[in-house]
Amino acid sequence: IHHGIHSFDLACLAYPWVHRGLSRLFPDGLWQLPQQPGSHSIALTFDDGPHPDYTPRLLEVLARFDVKATFFVLGERAQRWPEVVAQMAAAGHQLALHGWQHRSFPSLSPSELRQSLWQTQEALATATGGIPESFWWVRPPNGLVWPQTVRQLQTWGYATVMWSVVPEDWLEPPIPVILERVLAQVQPGSLIVLHDGIYGGSQVADVTERLIPLLQAQTYNFVTLSEAGQQI
């Protein structure tokens, strides 16, 4: 895969247009954090984990900067590495749902989708000593979802979380390219999507270590969905 200027243009130019179009089609999803006047809050979010090697390294970086993030985890992986999930929770990070496996929600029947989410909630509760119902933020894998699916999730008590900054880190372009893409798209309220799973995870700690100070230099501050949710 070519990671030069064409890939950069796709991420910086196409994704904001895609974001604007999809956010109109799916207005019930959370695309942007609510902002008070003068606020510069943004959310760092990580999909597809936990990973036994990549996630602990990422947690070390976040702890060093005292930044809290939101992790959209796969239930199957949470069940396999509960000690990593427990480490996330103990560090004060937000745990959220990405489904049991990385399967697009439109490919699942309503009963399969609900089972996928409930199993993931149970895996998180087992790993953290919490209750399944406390995990109710959901991000659809690949951002694929139908409007009726979002409404169905609402009736089950879930909140659908989408994205506003997608640097395509799962393709593993050079780290400076990922940083450029984020800085070109970020604005107050942004939901930044990175990955700590098999795809993109090998670089995620290094990306995050370089990205946080760049964003802090632009006066951004980091919040979890729970912290932002007090205004939703």
For the annotated catalytic residues, the residue numbers are 47, 195
Q: What's the first-to-final CA gap in the chain, in angstroms? A: 39
Tell me the C-alpha distance between 82 and 31, whole Å.
29
Are residues 193 and 44 in contact, defined by beta-carbon separation less than 8 angstroms? no
Retrieve residue 207's tokens: 């990306």
Tally of helices (H runs) and strands (E runs) in the chain: 10, 7
Tell me the C-alpha distance between 50 and 104, whole Å.
18
CA dihedral 164, 173, 210, 101 (to 10 degrees): 60
Residue 189 is classified by DSSP as T
Cβ-based neighbours of 61, under 8 Å, separated by 6 or more? 205, 208, 209, 212
